[in-house]
Structure 1
């Protein structure tokens, strides 16, 4: 039972993919971990399309067979209508990595499985728990005070290290004023779910379809419950100039689209519209005395390449290794967390450079392949199309990302 004053090796703020994975991996290493999750799971979240860079973490957590049993759509790659008058083209994950597929997931189900797995591995997980204050010893964070819904008494949890995985709530980043938005990627997205859509055949049935429009782009993500997530992303300024509501803008752009319009023709919208804005940012620091950031709490680089959950899962695996090392030898804390941040930032920077290049929709697909090769494989040791698949799979980058051995 948790007392009103308790001590842990690690307190993790947030039970989404980054938080639950970090907590589970640290509990698996026999550390005492507390997860404080503000909501009650399962809960809705956008970001249904995974990349194969997520798979090593899911394997280490022992979740692959469970995800297969849940019937999630298997995603073997992606189909794009993007660039200069070339029709649709695609990539396959098998071209780039040992993993030939990943999953399209309903995040309510997927996130709940990850949080449950953290519990199974030994982490203490409190839902509907809200962090109120940070405890400091000098400049070092030493714990938090928090409240649990229905409990009138605030509680204190002291820890040797605090991990902020609070996503776009940015609990620590707001406290330290660390969030830096990428002004050229200030976008807004509007989406809903459709039933009765057409699907591709064979291994393309689970593809994310990405289609460019003159002032934005569509995603089309097939899910295992028979619905498809369909969203439109555009710069906030373009939305304002349109003079339309988000629902009107979505409808007019879908009517003018090609591939996504054909796939949704005759389908029924099965849910209300949702929206979100200001998606791209990076924090100026990812760690400090007694704390570290992971997942969306550290950075988010545009939804274009479906890297959100992948970055959280890859980051959690690297951070768990760094935190484990710091807990076993406190003298190396700064060194291992600095390395984690350096490698995380290197990958984010290469990803950001590629996203900015990719948003130029006047290019041929071969130019996108060449840009991926420039960033990942400057010695041209692999075919450029393989480097493109590698970039979109999230399995590699400029450095051996998150390697902490």
Structure 2
């Protein structure tokens, strides 16, 4: 008998269904497509759409190259980035990503994510990937083959039956919510307030030092080192601006976000000078309680990529790097499983991925308790140690040849003792 007209259509010729068309989803889709796998990407929003996470790390460049997307990114005209600068009171230090311990790219870009994410998605689509925008995953069934219920842009439901699922939904965290995988983060509850500005910095200087537009600037609050600011150049006259701290440290929560943000900016003398003539270009936004964790990263039916699995903190711009790294690692396992191999997802994906995530976690926690800030701002650094630190700041958190990766907590504490 023919199916009832009320029976949802079922797509059954899919190897891998990917939830989310951000960087991890598009890179995963591209890598799988290159291997001849049938992929479909379900994206809730329409691109371009605003997102934070605008300061890429050099490590990202190798994953873009692996996905055959690097040429498109290089030609897009994004703001060049060659390092990171840190300022606390009158102390200033910077890191040149070309002078690092780990081999690999030493420069990258700072990007408006609306444009960057659309570029990656368009490039994946040009390669032949099927991306469906304005569609929402509403249920997941893991009995038998993984099955998703999807509501399309017209409000009509259909089903996808795939051999495997990848969740690249970022802060949407689709599978963790539907499968009740979420668990509290070990990190403190912090908030970020942010916007884009016409910075009008021109030739302004702080401490006789011009603003370096080729680096992200991380500034620390002069009275409370738990509060920090990002200033990310996106073009010759535009920046992303944000402040991060625990909510009770961010002033009167009843005030308008723009008022709170600019009041916090004016509490840091260097930023106050640089941004004296700045104009806000977009409505300020707030991200609360962003740190997240899960009980399970992967099984033989699904894997979580990037922020869908765990998000630490924006302080070292690790989010997109972890997203791309997870996409590369997971797709290699998926291809092998689809080709008939038995994959131990815990030992072959979750643990290797978490080694780098836990390295970032060491330095995020040490940033907020002051240990890593003491290392960053130490006025007579050993060049070899600075190169090792620079590798981590450049995203090479999986390079276990680096002692600050292989034994991150132990080695960090030894350096902290020397600095103090």
Fold in common (TM above 0.5) = yes
2:213 equivalent to 1:205: yes
Q: Is the 8 A contact 1:77 1:204 kept in 2?
A: no
The answer for the alignment partner of 2:151 in structure 1 is 147
Q: What is the distance in 1 between the residues matched to 2:259 and 2:326?
A: 38
Name the CA shift for 1:50/1:248 in 2 (closer, same or farther; >3 Å). same
One of 54, 65, 77 as aligned partner of 2:60: 54
Partner of 1:306: 317
Give the superposition deviation at 1:348: 1.2
Q: Distance in 2 between matches of 1:263 and 1:183?
A: 35
Kindly report the root-mean-square deviation, in angstroms, between the aligned alpha carbons of the 2 structures.
2.8
Could you tell me which of 159, 168, 177 is aligned with 2:171?
168
1:102 aligns with 2:111: no
Q: Distance in 1 between matches of 2:359 and 2:371?
A: 21
Contact persistence 1:196–1:268 (CA under 8 A): yes
Match of 1:357 in 2: 366
Tell me how far 1:3 sits from its aligned partner. 5.9
Q: Is the 8 A contact 1:325 1:336 kept in 2?
A: no
1:251-304 Cα shifts (integer Å, max 9, x gaps): 222112133222212122222111111111221210123111001101111000
SS at match of 2:131: strand
Give 1:95 shift: 1.4
**8 Å CA contact retained: 1:189, 1:232:** yes
Q: Is the CA contact 2:84–2:96 (under 8 Å) kept in the aligned structure 1?
A: yes
Deviation at 1:141, TM superposition (A): 5.1
Between stretches 244-253 and 211-220, larger displacement belongs to 244-253
Which residue of structure 2 lines up, in the alignment, with residue 275 of structure 1? 286
Q: Deviations over 1:217-272 (max 9, x none)?
A: 11000113731111111102323777755333322221121332222121222221
1:91 corresponds to: 95
| Residues 134 and 141 in structure 1, CA contact (< 8 A), matched pair in contact too | no
Asked if the contact 1:86/1:364 (under 8 Å) is kept, the reply is no
Report how far residue 306 of structure 1 moved. Answer: 0.6
> TM-score under structure 2 normalisation?
0.84
- Say if 2:106 and 2:394, in contact at 8 Å, map to a contact too: no
Aligned counterpart in structure 1 of residue 83 of structure 2, from 77, 81, 105: 77
Alignment match, 1:193: 196
State the alpha-carbon separation in 2 of the partners of residues 290 and 224 from structure 1: 42
1:3-402 maps to which residues of 2 (within 5 A)?
4-82=10-88, 87-96=91-100, 97-137=103-143, 142-150=146-154, 152=156, 154-182=157-185, 184-198=187-201, 204-213=212-221, 214=224, 215-224=226-235, 226-239=237-250, 244-329=255-340, 331-333=341-343, 335-336=344-345, 338-361=347-370, 365-366=374-375, 383-397=384-398, 399=400
SS in 2 for 1:125: strand
Name the TM-score, length of structure 1 as normaliser. Answer: 0.87
Structure 1 unpaired stretches of 5+: 374-379
Q: 1:87 to 1:196 in 2, by over 3 A?
A: same
C-alpha distance in structure 2 between counterparts of 1:267 and 1:173, whole Å? 40
Aligned counterparts of 1:312 and 1:184: Cα–Cα separation in 2: 19
Contact 1:11 1:163 in 2 (8 A): yes
Instruction: Indicate conservation of the 8 Å contact 2:142/2:301, yes or no.
Output: no
Q: Deviations over 1:152-181 (max 9, x none)?
A: 3x2111111111111111111112222223
CA distance in 2, matches of 1:20, 1:287: 19
Q: Say which SS state the counterpart of residue 250 (structure 2) adopts.
A: helix
Deviation at 1:146, TM superposition (A): 0.7
Which residue number corresponds to residue 377 of structure 1?
none
Given that 1:52 and 1:101 are in contact with CA atoms closer than 8 Å, whether structure 2 keeps it comes out as yes
Unaligned runs of 5+ in 2: 1-7, 204-208, 403-420
